[in-house]
Structure 1
Amino acid sequence: MVVVATFSSNIHRVQQVINAAVACGRKVLVNGRSMVANTVVARQLGYLQIPAETLIELRELRDLPRSEVVVITTGSQGEPLSVLSRMAMDDYRKLPLETGDTVILSSSFIPGNEKAISRLINLLYRRGAEVFYEKTSEVHVSGHASQEELKLVLSLTRPHCFVPIHGEYRHLVKHAQLATSMGVAAERVQVLENGQPLLVSINGLRLEERVATGRIFIDGKGVGDVGMMELRDRRHLANHGLVMVLLGINQNDGAILYGPELVTRGFVVEEENTEFLDEARQELCQMLEEHSLEVLSDWEEMQAEVRKTLRRFFNRHIDRRPLILPVIFEQ
């Protein structure tokens, strides 16, 4: 069985796969929600030509030799819930992969998806499949228009105003320059960034005041209430752990009434590092003895000194940077 994974929006690529399947005498199974939906619409509009006897349903697969079937599906970017990913994890009983099957990833590696795609390829090989993708095989040509094709579109449409909207910033700039070279006036060509509104009127183009854009973090029932500071602390906790310092001080004479006690989470195993934590406590005690009553009675100053002392100690001894949370009680 041959499995071809591509973007469901790339109808021309789907047609190419169908043509190849017909030429080889194979039946075609279209699988995946978006792939099926786009195929139905494309056929209704006349953009996709599939011989009636070529297309099969999933239930018909068991009655055909696997060597006579081509499956067109999605998941070429390693999307975790896609049909291809489920097949790779042996979690799609209706369409299992077997040793000797061929999987073709007909797409480029979109930046940011490399790790997911590499994991997918490894899983496919674990199922015994042979995998072809752009870095090892000449099975994919970009579906994005080249410069000459973009020129053709500009010459056919002859836009009065032009705003490139797809690609990274360097792509937008080059596309804008191309439009200018094709006769669009420079004052009617505008490169935008996310959050930059553009007013289009009979008078031309005008930039409006920027608006806030970007990702909004949803945490439980809260939407956008967790800011960058909170996310930074969470990352710090995840990477380095937490050390809580419990300390009781007499506000009148600066005497230590309790502690310092160190409580750690995700930093070191307390039972196995008692000597190390005792050394840290001694370091804190020495710091407290060296400071004046004025410093000891200032909560913020005291917390800063505790953090600084422990940060230096941990960095010097084990080269770690836990989140240090002093809790100071005064009496």
Structure 2
Amino acid sequence: MNTNSDSLSTNLQDIRAFVAIAEAGSFSKAAEKLNTSRAHMSRQLSQLEARLGVQLIIRTTRSQRLTSAGEAFFTRCQAALMQIDDAITHASTDGDLMKGSIAVNCVGGIIGETLVGNAIHQFCAEHPDIHIELDFSSERVDLVQSRFDLVLRMGVLEDSRLIGREMGEILIGTYAAPSYLARRGRLTHPHQLREHDCLTGSVTKWKYVPTNKNEKTVEVEVSGNLQCKNGHVLYQSALKGNGICRLPDLYCQQAVVDGSLESVFEEWKVDKVPLYLLYHRDRHQPARLKALIQYLMVKIPPQLVAKI
């Protein structure tokens, strides 16, 4: 038998022809099954035997039978082709089924844990055959290289290889408890933040835009006695009077209403931050992924508007 690497490139159609001949017991019936001619089937078998360097079927004008090598080859190829056909069927129907897995990476805090989390809960209840992995890792995910299907990301979109749908803008404010402001004094300008305990996340340079056009944009390096990348922790610390926090208004709107927190600045604002839903440019997007994208685009944007 020829054992060189050429045998690995044997035409799959020639193997299908051989299996069909062996199953049908005749060239004519096999040709009819594959919608081709008897002569073409004969050529395919001859090509396969030449490539393998072994006779698979002994044929005469009246009959045919498998050789011992042909019987062994037939058994293995028949099983392999069944697996291939099953894999093709599974792959081609997977995109149409509302089942399977979706991996989502999302910003944490109130955006991910509350808004997105609640939407995912509802989606799972409506689609019990879809498994969703929701990840809140803080590292900036490369969607092209990672295993994630969807990423929800705050900030400017830079990667043009992805589809980025803006879900809305997140309003950011600067807040402190009345007890802290009474103890440490009220602020009128961002530069005064240098003299205060600021509760920070990953960003320690706070940028402010004046509502008065005669003023210039200000960026201040801040510090304090607590740094944490979880907004809920910073929010709770501000409530206890431990310092000044800068958070999405969504965290603080109820606390402002009931007087537990106050807005620190009236004449200085923080730029709004866009929230994007990112996914691959894929013409063959599975139905389950399309459904989740549409669901999130309907559920999340209305909730980004703070009601202070």
Q: Which interval holds the TM-score relative to the shorter structure?
A: under 0.3
Q: TM-score normalized by structure 2?
A: 0.17
Q: Who wins on radius of gyration, i.e. which is larger?
A: 2
Q: TM-score normalized by structure 1?
A: 0.16
